Each structure stands twice: as structure tokens, then as C-alpha cells.
Amino acid sequence: MNAGHNPRFSYLYRPFLPRIPFYSAPQSNPLKFMMLATVRSVTGKPSSFLKLVAASRSASTWGKVPQGPPDAILGITEAFKADSFQQKINLGVGAYRDDAGKPYVLPSVRAAEKRILEKNLNKEYAPITGVPEFTKAAAALAYGAESPVLDKIAITQTISGTGALRVGGAFLERFYPHSKTVYLPNPSWANHKAVFSDCHMSVKNYRYYNKDTIGLDIEGLLADMKEAPQGSIFLLHACAHNPTGVDPTPEQWREISDVMKAQNHFPLFDMAYQGFASGDTVKDAFALRHFVEQGHQVALCQSFAKNMGLYGERVGAFSILTESAEEKKRVDSQIKILVRPLYSNPPVYGARIASEILNDAELNSQWLGEVKGMADRIITMRALLKGNLEKIGSKHNWDHITNQIGMFAYTGLKPEQVSTLANQYSVYATKDGRISVAGITSGNVERLAECIHKVSS
């Protein structure tokens, strides 16, 4: 066989060739000189060919993968950790903290874990759409335990709220019969755009936040909904809008519902804070339930990260309201087909915790009290921050701090003021002026107000 015509030659003979540094000249390395001469006589190719082969092998398969942009929140956390100042404040974290600034595990969650352990359950796979006791209870929590539509809801357990959005996006991209464009509020949670873009859907914005009033731009919002093509998909934050903390009033929600119904738009709700916003799970579900009552065929993404503190357990649900039992069966079958190649079936542990809490009357009552306690602490910190700013003589109107709701607040601070807060006062927040109210404590709120006053005066 002529090795010169055999493309496998270099691989077949490589184990038998001595390892010689190719950066040395052949004349200075007799063994290398003889090897190159031998290769030329056997392959019929010049010695430069071997150099070309070696060079091509040195190029990495992933050599052209570009560097991705750093995560904004991760950067804040890293800067905070590197700061040695004892009174530093981290307002970038997106998780609840107690009044000592520590992570908080709900006592009801600990009690549920104890009960689950005592049951000595197995570790078998859950069904594709998750733990049935959990999904049934999750639907009842969102739509209402007495809702007449519960038997028409196709629902699947998901990998928290992000997973719900991804499954929902994949379903809409595959089956929604109208526009494949999703309209997001401006601003919205940063991951919304990434999720729907990766689902191969077009992403556009509708007006939401008015930076001049630091409130809701209801006129712009309604105008954009009226101007969008009929049958468009609109993502709606059910409560505790992230990142602004600005929610429509019940009357404004009614206006939004009326316009969307007139335009035949599809409402996709993202509800990550039910109970955590106001402390009342029923009040926080008002928008969703009103839309259902008005005849909208809604879809819903739920997360139990915030309201149960199950951040790392990744517990969520995606649901769609259908017209009939027969339609529900078909939709459910297609959800299973979508989920199967994504992750086969969801993890059971977090869903068992949530199920235990939602289905046991005693634990449920305890949890409702605890989630109200978390919400009340956030509301109290808002009031204290505003009060301290007013007490030290700030001339700005800080009503928006208490008018907003939920974990996050838009302060109205400019990027350069946020930079000064970090560089001079060791107070860390995102450059758009958003702060996590969970990072405020009774021990640091006075200093925080002083720092904000200094950079905003």
C-alpha cells in the first residue's frame, strides 16, 4: 500500500515516531532530520507537510468561541466579597435575607423535610410532568382552589420559573397559531429575552416604566398593546415586577385585560412572587384570576424559589388553560413530548417539600404566616429607608420607594451615582439603580440612607 495516498498514515504511524521538538532546526537535530527525510520518502510529500500537519493539530476546536459578557449580578457579588470594609452593603443579591442579612430557611420547609424523611420515600423517577400532588396544588394556589377552570388546566412541573418559561416558550413556538413574537415590558427580568430568543421567537418590548415619574407608564403600555399586531403574545409580571417593583393597580389591570381581549392578544403570566409581594397569596394572584374570569386563555409560569425559599431546589410549574378535557389531553401530550428530550422528568425532592406544605392544612397555615412575615419585613425596610432619607433632609421625593412592591426597587439613581456608592461608600447595586430591598436590615438602613443622600444631593 502506498502510504502517500493513505489519509490515515499520520495517525497510524504517530505512535511509532519519536517525540521531537519541532521548533528546533533539522540540521541541529540529526534524528529529526532523518525522520523528516523518511517521511518524505514514504509519503512523497515534503517535510514542510509534516510541519503543516503539526500546526493544524495545535489549533483548538474551540479556538474561535468568543468570550461572553460577565454576569452583572455576579460582578457585584465578587466586588462585594473583595471589599474589606466592615460596613459594606450588598443590594444586588436576588434572594431573601433575614434582618441579620443571612439566608433564611422557612421553618415550614424544615418541618416538611422532616415529614418527608420520616416517610422513607423511594428515589424513583417522577412522571414526565412531575409529582402529581405538587402540580395539582400549584394550580389551585395560582388559579384558586374553587376555580371552575382547574379541570381544564394542563400543567407540568418545571425546573423553577426559568424552566417554566423555557417550556412555555418552546410550546408557544411550536403550537401558537399566530405571531411568534413575544412582547416584554421595558424593562423586564434580563433572562426573559434570553429564554425566548433561545426558543427561536422574536422578542420586542412594550412601554412599562416611566423614568420621569419612577412609576408605571400606563398610557404607553396600553398604546403599545393597541398598536401590536392582533394575536401577539404579551408577557405580564403577575405581581412584584422585576426589576422595578412597579405593579399596575387592580383598575389598571382591568384596563390591560380589556385592551388585550379586544386585540385578541395572548397573556403569558410570569408569577415568581405569589404571596411574597403583598403577604397575601390571593391578592397577588388578582391579575391572573381576573384575566381568567374575563375569558382569556392564559398561560402561567410559576416559581417557588422566593415564596418558599426553595432557591436551590428549582421548583416551578408551567400551565395552560384549555377549552375542554379533550383539548387538555392533547396539550398535555405535547408538553410531555417537549419535556422528554429536555430533561426527561423533573427532580422530586423540592416538589415533595412544596407539595407537603401546600396539601397539609397545618403546614400550609404556617407557611402563609411565614411568607407574610417575609413580605412584611420587605415593606418595613422600604418605609425605614424612605423615613431615614426624609429625616436627614433629602429634598427628593422618595414616595416611589414605598409605592413599589416586592423584593426589588428602582431608586431613580443614575449609573454614576451607583458607581460612587460602590467606590466611596461600599454600597453595591446594579448600575440602573435597582436595589434588592432584602439586602436592607434594621442595622444598615440608616447608613444606607446617608450614603444615598450624599450621592443624590
Q: Which of 341, 334, 318, 339 is nearest to 174 (CA)?
A: 334
Give the residue from 307, 95, 72, 305 showing the smallest Cα distance to 190.
Answer: 72
147: exposed, middle or buried (C-beta count within 10 Å: 0-12, 13-18, 19+)?
middle
Instruction: Indicate if 247 belongs to the active site.
Output: no
H or E stretch covering 315? strand 315-321
- C-alpha distances (whole Å) from 215 to each of 163, 218, 235, 361, 409 are 30, 9, 19, 38, 11
Q: Which residue bears the cell 443614575?
A: 414
Residues in the chain: 457
Q: Which of the residues 32, 152, 189, 247 is marked catalytic?
A: 189
CB-based contacts of 401: which residues, under 8 Å, 6+ apart?
382, 385, 386, 389, 409, 411
Cα torsion angle, 366, 372, 376, 378, sign: positive
Q: Which one of 306, 332, 367, 386 is the catalytic residue?
A: 306
Strand partners, 266: 233
* Alpha-carbon span 183 to 226, nearest angstrom: 12
Cell 450621592 sits on residue: 455
Beta-ladder partners of 434: 410
CB-based contact 308:367 (threshold 8 Å):
yes
The catalytically annotated residue of 217, 224, 247, 270 is 270
Do 135 and 129 form a contact (C-beta atoms < 8 A)?
Answer: yes
To the query of whether residue 270 is one of the catalytic residues in this protein, the response is yes
Enter the C-alpha cell of residue 189. Answer: 427580568
> Which positions are catalytic?
189, 270, 306
